[in-house]
């Protein structure tokens, strides 16, 4: 049940980011749900590739850059999602801020 809630919240956050971020297209709920699943999968793959042993000081910067790259490349897998490089950077920043204030059990 927590996984479903996490994906719904992630989809709602992506929809919000699409409305307030320039360079990040707004999308419907179904596309945002697909985008949340794709971003979660790409993030998991990046974490497996890069590893979790990142220094505490570099974790924020590395995590931010990896999130922006994942968001940018997700547009090629999700129909209806269009993101510019600046939009991916701003989206990663906003998603990171929301994630910092709305902690989840699944990390």
Instruction: Give per-residue pLDDT as tens, 22-68.
Output: 888 888 899 989 998 888 888 888 777 877 654 344 456 777 888 88
Residue 1 has pLDDT above 90, yes or no: no
Tens-place pLDDT, residues 74-107: 999 998 889 999 999 988 888 878 777 766 544 4
| Global pTM value | 0.79
The CA distance from 72 to 96, in Å, is: 15
The CA distance from 15 to 26, in Å, is: 6
Q: Are 88 and 24 in contact (CB under 8 A)?
A: yes
Q: Write down the domain spans for the chain.
A: 2-101
Residues 11-21: what's their mean pLDDT?
87
The CA distance from 2 to 10, in Å, is: 12
> What is the predicted pLDDT for the residue at 60?
67
22 or 6: which carries more pLDDT confidence?
A: 22
DSSP three-state, residue 64? helix
DSSP three-state, residue 67? helix
Q: Are 17 and 31 in contact (CB under 8 A)?
A: no
């Amino acid at each position: 049940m927590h996984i479903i809630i996490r994906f719904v919240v992630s989809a709602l956050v992506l929809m919000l980011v699409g409305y307030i971020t320039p360079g990040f297209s707004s999308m419907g709920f179904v596309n945002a749900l697909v985008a949340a699943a794709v971003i979660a999968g790409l993030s998991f793959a990046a974490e497996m590739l890069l590893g979790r042993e990142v220094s505490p000081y570099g974790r924020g910067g590395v995590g931010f850059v990896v999130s922006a790259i994942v968001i940018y490349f997700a547009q090629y897998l999700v129909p209806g999602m269009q993101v510019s490089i600046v939009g991916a950077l701003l989206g990663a920043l906003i998603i990171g801020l929301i994630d910092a204030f709305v902690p989840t059990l699944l990390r």
